[in-house]
Amino acid sequence: QVQLVESGGGVVQPGRSLRLSCAASGFIFRKYGMHWVRQAPGKGLEWLAITSYAGTDSFYGDSAKGRFTISRDNSKNTLYLQMNSLRHEDTAVYYCAKAKSGADCSSITCPLDYWGQGTLVIVSS
Amino acid sequence: DIQMTQSPSTLSASVGDTVTITCRASQSINIWLAWYQQKPGTAPKALMYKASNLEGGVPSRFSGSGSGTEFTLTISSLQPDDFATYHCQQYHDYPYTFGQGTKLEIK
């Protein structure tokens, strides 16, 4: 079955960097786009970024542009989110999620189907 | 960016009731809408895509409709397991955007 396991969260000071990882199993990782989504305490979901199945194309939400970088290593079945210049408002649970594919998608975009359990990032001095 | 607005923000209902949640887009998104269910302290779970297609394993009491800018999620004959927060998301264009969520609580 599909499993996505995030790691790398923790407490970090403002201005510092953190890299999150998402280990994938139960599906052919290299064939699917992958997303990062976050949820601040008591708030709604915020989409951050997507990388294509090969890692050659990425798109970002406004909060992630310029500070966060999504990447993947298909040889390790692992997705990453590099977060730089962290701010208090980046405090959230960060989820990785798998994209659907094929006929379930529009011409350029696909919905999310499986989500990891999330990893908590707290930005605090 | 496409703005997604859900209503109501909170909905109180009883087991056995039928409820409807509305999601409106700030511009047409065709049928490129997904719904997710989230219980406290857990990750979201995919319910529906392309506005009305159920994910595998989702009970048939869940149904979705709509196209363009207005969409609905209907849950018939509410079960105790259905009390959760529901999120809509457009995937018509980047950046993907979510509604603010609708919390379905027990009356």
- The per-residue pLDDT of chain A, averaged, comes to 95
How large is the average pLDDT for residues B71-95? 96
B32: Cα separation from own chain's centroid? 13
Confidence of residue A79 (pLDDT cuts 50, 70, 90): very high
pLDDT at A95 over 90: yes
pLDDT at A107 over 80: no
pLDDT at A108 over 80: no
Q: What is the pLDDT of residue A75?
A: 97
Alpha-carbon distances, residue A112 vs A36, A37, A93, B58, B59 (angstroms): 10, 10, 17, 15, 19
**Within an 8 Å CB–CB cutoff, is residue B74 touching chain A?**
no
How many Å lie between the alpha carbon of B60 and the closest alpha carbon of chain A? 18
DSSP string, B87-98: EEEE-SSSSPEE
pLDDT at A23 over 90: yes
CA distance between the termini of chain B: 36
Chain A residues touching residue B34 (CB < 8 angstroms):
111-112
pLDDT digits (tens, 9 = 90+) for A36-69: 999 999 999 999 999 999 999 999 999 999 999 9
A45 with B36: Cβ contact below 8 A: yes
How large is the average pLDDT for residues A88-116? 91
Q: What is the pLDDT of residue A96?
A: 98
Q: What is the pLDDT of residue A104?
A: 81
Are A91 and A123 within 8 A, CB to CB? yes
How large is the average pLDDT for residues B13-27? 97
Give the pairing type, strands A78-83 and A92-99. Answer: unpaired
Nearest Cα to Cα of residue A22 among A10, A13, A12, A9: A9
**Within an 8 Å CB–CB cutoff, is residue B103 touching chain A?**
no
A116 with B43: Cβ contact below 8 A: yes
Are A38 and A48 within 8 A, CB to CB? yes
Task: Nearest by CB to B91, from A45, A95, A110: name it.
Answer: A110
Q: What is the pLDDT of residue A101?
A: 84
Confidence of residue A105 (pLDDT cuts 50, 70, 90): confident
**Within an 8 Å CB–CB cutoff, is residue B49 touching chain A?**
yes
How large is the average pLDDT for residues B82-87? 97
pLDDT at A29 over 90: yes
